[in-house]
């Protein structure tokens, strides 16, 4: 199986970048034979569906949302948008990861019962995209959350392109993975892919989804893995981009702890737990989340990002690609390219990815 390469346009990272430049980046990725272009779904950023519609007419590649926040729109509205996107894409694959959004979503909306919400959203979307009638009353959490009448029944005209739309689970906790294995076409392993590879836990995580799929007679879910990467000819500049960006390595290190990574895990990843304690105290004291660069160590950068010059990044990616391929990951999706996204893309396409493909064969 060929190991695919994807580009994620991480919309918060590019909030001040003109849309025309983002479309140009997508065209460059398609020209460099990237297999898929993805967008994120973050409050405070551009609408992913509008960006995907613009991409549908710009690049001849597969598209995807990684991940679509399940709380921001009803499955009825999401299905309507996805079916139109499918028509615009004229048969190309459209992949939609579903999840509850990043941890900072909690500052703006209440993420109620995320596992039940995921289960009901996957169930509703699968029915609507297949052109089936959906009885909203059978999904009580969605009915109450979005204000549907108990007796409401919804049916959408599913075009012939329905089979091109694939639903993936975007949560990486055991319960989310179990639901994905049972109901979804695939699994998106987000930015925690790097820590999972380094700790030797990727296979165990994926087995949760596989076992759930087997239990209901489904085939093994497909797998996409996300890589946060900053590559530049100047090694130090690439790493400083990660250190100082708004959604920093400091926040992600704190997120690892909140996801259940203990102090021993953090040390194995090269992170001093004392440094994470400092971040926690700063956040509790009201420190600006967008300015945590003073707390970022090199270990934090390397735990969650691949950052440096092309030779350094190629060496680190080789290990990840080998482990990912061994565990059935069919695509690595590069995200948060920096510090100069077009140049970073060129370096990946010319100096990194071809070598990784040769090794993966």
Per-residue pLDDT at 161: 64
pLDDT at 111: 84
At 162-220, the pLDDT tens digits run 789 999 999 999 999 999 999 999 999 999 999 999 999 999 999 999 999 999 999 99
3-class DSSP string for the chain = CCCEEEEEECCCCCCCCCHHHHHHHHHHHHHCCCCEEEECCCCCCCCHHHHHHHHHCCCCCEEEEEEEECCCCCHHHHHHHHHHHHHHHCCCCEEEEEECCCHHHHHCCCCCCHHHHHHHHHHHHHHHHCCCCEEHHHCHHHHHHHCCCCCCEECCCCCHHHHHEEEEECCCCHHHHHHHHHHCCEEEECCCHHHHHHCCCHHHHHHHHHHHHHHCCCCCCEEEEEEEEEECCCHHHHHHHHHHCCCCHHHHHHHHHHCCCCHHHHHHCCCCHHHHHHHHHHHHCCCCCCCCHHHCCHHHHHHHCEEECHHHHHHHHHHHHHHHHHCCCCEEEEECCCCCHHHHHHHHHHHHHHHHHHHHC
125 φ/ψ angles, rounded to the nearest 5 degrees:
-65, -40
Bridge partners, 228 (sequence order): 335
Identify the CATH number of the domain defined by range 4-234+306-360: 3.20.20.30
* pLDDT tens for each residue of 310-325: 999 999 999 999 999 9
Q: Give, in order, the Cα–Cα distances in Å from 306 to each of 191, 251, 324.
A: 11, 16, 15
Decide: 43 and 108 in contact? Cβ < 8 Å: yes
Q: How many CA atoms lie within 13 A of 15 on its CB side?
A: 10
**Per-residue confidence (pLDDT) for residue 200, from 0 to 100:** 97
pLDDT (0 to 100) of residue 356: 76
Contacts of 19 (CB under 8 A, 6+ apart): 46, 51, 54
Please tell me the pTM assigned to this model: 0.95
Are the beta carbons of 194 and 228 closer than 8 angstroms? yes
Residue 157 has pLDDT above 80, yes or no: yes
Cα(21)–Cα(2) distance, integer angstroms: 29
User: What distance in Å separates the CA atoms of residue 195 and residue 13, rounded to the nearest whole number?
Assistant: 21
CA-to-CA distance for 333 and 295, rounded, in angstroms?
27
Average pLDDT, the chain: 93
The pLDDT-based confidence of 343 (bands split at 50, 70, 90) is very high
Phi/psi class of residue 226: alpha, beta or left (left: φ > 0; alpha: ψ in -120 to 50)?
beta
Lowest mean pLDDT among 64-78, 101-115, 121-135: 101-115
Residue 104 and residue 7: Cα distance in Å, rounded? 23
How far is Cα of residue 60 from the mean position of the Cα atoms in its chain?
Answer: 21
Q: What is the mean pLDDT of residues 282-303?
A: 84
The pLDDT assigned to 316 comes to: 95
pLDDT level of residue 98 (50, 70, 90 thresholds): very high
Rounded CA separation 131/356 (Å)? 41
The arithmetic mean of pLDDT across residues 103-132, rounded, is 88
Can you name the residues that pair with 231 across neighbouring β-strands?
308
Give the residue carrying structure tokens 């091109």.
Answer: 164
Asked if 300 and 310 touch (Cβ cutoff 8 Å), the reply is: no
Structure-block tokens of residue 103: 């941890």
Q: What is the pLDDT of residue 293?
A: 86
Sorted by where each begins, the domain ranges of the chain are 4-234+306-360
Q: How confident is the model at residue 308 (pLDDT cuts 50, 70, 90)?
A: very high
Task: Give yes or no for a contact between 89 and 58, defined as CB atoms under 8 angstroms apart.
Answer: no
């Amino acid at each position: 199986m060929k190991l695919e390469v994807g580009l994620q346009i991480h919309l918060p990272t590019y909030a001040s970048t003109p849309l025309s430049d983002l479309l140009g980046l997508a065209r460059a990725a398609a020209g460099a034979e990237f297999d898929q272009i993805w967008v994120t779904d973050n409050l405070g950023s551009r609408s992913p569906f509008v960006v995907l519609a613009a991409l549908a007419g710009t690049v001849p590649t597969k598209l995807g949302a990684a991940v679509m926040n399940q709380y921001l729109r009803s499955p009825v509205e999401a299905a309507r948008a996805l079916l139109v996107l499918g028509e615009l894409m004229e048969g190309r694959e459209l992949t939609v990861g579903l999840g509850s959004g990043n941890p900072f979503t909690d500052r703006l909306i209440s993420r109620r019962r995320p596992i039940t919400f995921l289960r009901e959203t996957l169930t509703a979307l699968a029915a609507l995209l297949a052109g089936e009638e959906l009885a909203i009353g059978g999904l009580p959490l969605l009915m109450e959350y979005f204000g549907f009448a108990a007796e409401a029944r919804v049916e959408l005209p599913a075009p012939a392109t329905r089979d091109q739309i694939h639903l993936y689970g975007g949560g990486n906790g055991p319960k989310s993975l179990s639901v994905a294995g049972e109901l979804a076409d695939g699994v998106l392993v987000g930015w925690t892919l790097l820590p999972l590879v380094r700790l030797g836990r990727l296979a165990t995580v994926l087995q949760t989804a596989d076992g759930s799929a087997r239990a209901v007679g489904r085939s093994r879910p497909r797998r996409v893995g996300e890589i946060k990467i900053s590559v530049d000819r100047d090694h130090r500049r690439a790493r400083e981009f990660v250190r100082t960006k708004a959604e920093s390595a400091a926040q992600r290190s704190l997120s690892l702890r909140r996801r259940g990574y203990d102090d021993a895990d953090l040390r194995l990843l090269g992170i001093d737990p004392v440094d994470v304690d400092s971040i926690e105290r700063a956040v509790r004291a009201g420190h600006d989340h967008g300015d945590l660069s003073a707390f970022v160590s090199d270990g934090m950068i390397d735990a969650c990002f691949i950052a440096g010059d092309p030779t350094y990044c190629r060496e680190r990616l080789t290990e990840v690609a080998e482990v990912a391929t061994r565990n059935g990951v069919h695509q690595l999706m590069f995200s948060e390219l920096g510090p100069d996204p077009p140049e970073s893309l060129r370096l990946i396409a010319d100096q990194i990815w071809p070598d990784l493909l040769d090794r993966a064969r």
